[in-house]
Structure 1
Amino acid sequence: MSRTVLAIGAHIGDMDLTAGPTLAKLVLDGANVTIVALTAGERGHPRLPPAEYKQQKVAEGEAFATAIGADFMVLGHRDGFLPDTDEAAAELATVIRETQPDTLITHWKHSTHRDHSRTAALVDRARFLADFPITPADALGTLHDLPRHAVRTLLHTENWQDMDGFHPTHYVPIPDEAFYRWISAIRHQAFARGETQGFRHIDYYTALMTTRGCLSAYPRANAFHQPPTPETTKLAGP
């Protein structure tokens, strides 16, 4: 049976950049991968107006997903104004119930970027709501019409803005085919090339993969943090 993964970022490009090599590897391994952006990230360009940059970002996100073999969707929230509400979490829980993923990948909860930290909180809440009995009286859209779903695994990806308290619990080796598929795709995103904020994202994450590979005895690797569950905490003991 194929594995299904949802990678959920605050903006178009967040998961493409940080978890993209792992997503490319998963696709090559036969998994079904969907990249979800809660906002387009339309306010991130210093020269283009948000409406124009949004069109560019959506086109870039669609092209990246196609290039690595993933599906892609953008929810309708505003960049910089991501709400932290049950209604927003229910919208994401609806996606979870519809796609039935085994694994969720998202931002680390401690971030200097509020949209990132709110995304992590929304994913955690949506994971709960996706497996919680919901009735029409709860007024959470069409969530009650869909079968409940429990997501087994939640992983936080490594992001240069989200490093406060982040420590890896899992390393995913990135083979050459996945790496080159990722880097060929990510080069078509303007922000990743450093054209919007000047930060050399592609160089940073390429070097980070090499560093994480050194620490895990692979040529290249992505690092993730998996929060402890009550079961794993109990097994670990005091």
Structure 2
Amino acid sequence: MAKTVVAVGGHIGDMELTAGPTLAKVTLEGGRAVIVDCTYGERGHPTLAPSVYREQKLHEAQFFADKIGAELVTLDYSDGFLPDGEEVAEQVAAVIREARPDLLITHWTRSMHRDHERAAQAALRGAFLASIPMEEIAAERHSVPQILHAENWEDMDGFEADTFVAIPEEAYARWREGIQEHAFARGETYGFRFIDYYSALMEVKGCLVGEKRAAAFKSAGTEKFALAGP
């Protein structure tokens, strides 16, 4: 398993939910995990004002990171308004240059949520920017060896998993304890039982690879180069 992983999500909770079990596995094995949440996800509650839910989401994100032993980076963008320019990609590139990950995880490039798509584009573009010489940036460049797209029921257009990561019991338990703090994951916002869904999904994917549980990903292919180039 990779020693250092950076996971880039559109909203607080996205990578925690989908890549979280894998990140917990990495930290349990003595590695480093960095979660980059591009927006607060503060508009996702049917009764709480965005300003109130924003503070709750920040708490949920830090709680989860602490539970699995990950680091948290929250970018200052509002839910539904993640820009698609260079600014976000440059922020992701800065994280990549500092963390020097063996693995980058992000959304699939096609989704029902624009923030998911733009986070994926920023991650791929950021990986490209981190890999090229930049005289005005002191940090050394870094080329990410592997990029994976996490399986997400909201990002399934054209998604076909080709990479599976076995999730040990302790990693699953830490993920479950951390993700329970997220109101949306518990089904308290719009009723979808995210924790049950992804727990069951890991068991289904585990059946395919002879493990009790496994997380599924799609390797970055041609879209990596289509979106990351100058």
In the other structure, the counterpart of 2:192 is 199
- Partner amino acid for 2:28? L
RMSD of Structure 2 on Structure 1 (CA): 1.4
List aligned pairs for 1:16-35, cutoff 5 A: 16-35=16-35
Please say if 1:79 is aligned against 2:72: no
Could you list the per-position Cα deviations for residues 141-193 of structure 1 after superposition, in whole angstroms to 9, with x for gaps in the alignment?
xxx23211111110100001001111111111111111111111111110100
In the other structure, the counterpart of 1:235 is none
Unaligned runs of 5+ residues in structure 1 are 137-143, 230-238
In the other structure, the counterpart of 2:120 is 120
TM-score using structure 1 length: 0.90
- Partner amino acid for 1:28? L
In the other structure, the counterpart of 2:56 is 56
Runs of 4+ with deviation above 6 angstroms? none
SS at match of 1:156: strand
Tell me the CA shift for residue 61 of structure 1. Answer: 0.4
In the other structure, the counterpart of 2:151 is 158
Cα distance in 2, alignment partners of residues 99 and 151 from structure 1 = 10
Please say if 1:111 is aligned against 2:104: no
SS at match of 1:77: coil
Could you list the per-position Cα deviations for residues 12-67 of structure 1 after superposition, in whole angstroms to 9, with x for gaps in the alignment?
11011111111111111111001110011011111111111110000010000000
In the other structure, the counterpart of 1:236 is none
- Partner amino acid for 2:103? T
Cα distance in 1, alignment partners of residues 171 and 135 from structure 2 = 42
- Partner amino acid for 2:104? L
In the other structure, the counterpart of 2:41 is 41
SS at match of 2:75: strand
In the other structure, the counterpart of 2:171 is 178
Tell me the CA shift for residue 135 of structure 1. Answer: 4.2
In the other structure, the counterpart of 1:5 is 5
Unaligned runs of 5+ residues in structure 2 are 223-230
Tell me the CA shift for residue 195 of structure 1. Answer: 0.6
- Partner amino acid for 1:182? W
Instruction: Tell me which structure has the larger Cα radius of gyration.
Output: 1
Cα distance in 1, alignment partners of residues 215 and 81 from structure 2 = 29
SS at match of 1:76: coil
Identity %: 54
Cα distance in 2, alignment partners of residues 104 and 211 from structure 1 = 24
